[in-house]
Structure 1
Amino acid sequence: MGFSGQYVFGRSERPLLEAPVFDAIRPPWGDGACELWPRPGGWQTLQLRAEQWGSEELAALVEWTGAPACFAAIFDSDVADVVGLCPDGREWQTVLGLEIAAEMGIGQLDTHDTHDTLELLGTPEYAQACAARQAELEEAVPACARAAIAWASAAGVATAAQQSAIEAVLRAHEVFVEEGFIALIDALGFPPAVDPDEESEE
């Protein structure tokens, strides 16, 4: 079984887990969150196992931090629905794990209705439907990449990422899709994560 939950990326001078939106999952009331290695500039990544964490919670986090943020809703380490938001309300979305997302018929960019899926499994019709869904997701990649780059620029990233590099990340087939989310943050030009133990030894 892979990981199912959320990765949340945001900036704050205080620990991101102090945001009120995390009250229900923050110890001692819950144990559904852990902090990954931080990045310079106050950028932090949280791994959550919240039953529900979506666009409303992202908006609350952005309001609390006053900075852009994004999150990935991950299913079994196979597929991630990524949403980013700026304080001015600009939003972007993308899907990681396009091939499996197409097969599962999930992802906010997928507009097809799927009926009697179990009966269609393994049939030429099902394969054609999956190919059509994946083609739609692939077609959306350039626009998603541009929106992600604009979001990173609004977040203060000094050097704009190459669109081709972002598109490559969005089309990548990672064994663990959460690694694809981290790769996306890296490719957008955010400073690399730092091991807190190594930082304290310096």
Structure 2
Amino acid sequence: MYLTLLNGTGYAFSVDDYMELRTKHRLMGALVGTANTKGWSPNQSTLPVELTKFETQLILDEGIALLVNKSKTFSTSPTPKELAEYKADLKERLEGQADALKGEKLRETERYMDKILLGKRNKLLKQGLSTEAAALDGEDVLKEVADNFKFDLQNALMEVPCQHLSKHTAEIIPGPIVDTSCISFVKAP
């Protein structure tokens, strides 16, 4: 397991790593990410998990994880190839969302097809188009919905911070981050 060094302490970006820390080692940390687009709220916190300096040091001392520094990699600009790969991956994920939303819209239309056809036929009859109303069928409605479907990027779901997917380099931090030599323990009588 790897913890990422940020602001002098360890952060866990992987759900699996965080669950192992909680269940096996009883280390809580603090969820500091946000899923709320309107600002940070403690009730809606998500990954990453910030560990205290003492939790991080305990994890290092017990050999549970290694602490890595990725600041050099993340402070450099991506190469044109990396940027192109990221943009292609993002485009693929957005297209997948659009396809899933369009499929759901068509399934929802099929579910209420009887009501939709009744409403469209009544509208055509009020306009005096009885032949068009009689010729209207479900396939026409589905084709109209599919043709008029527009995926607005403003409504796209974006990923929350998580484990770094792409390859990157990191430097393992060997030394302690907390000086525990000045801590004295007093035994209870």
TM bracket, shorter-chain basis? under 0.3
User: Which of the pair is proportionally richer in strand?
Assistant: 1
Give the TM-score of the pair, scaled to structure 2. Answer: 0.23
User: Which of the pair is proportionally richer in helix?
Assistant: 2
Give the TM-score of the pair, scaled to structure 1. Answer: 0.22
Higher relative contact order (Cα pairs below 8 Å, separated by 6+ residues): 2
- Considering only CA atoms, is the larger Rg found in Structure 1 or Structure 2? 2
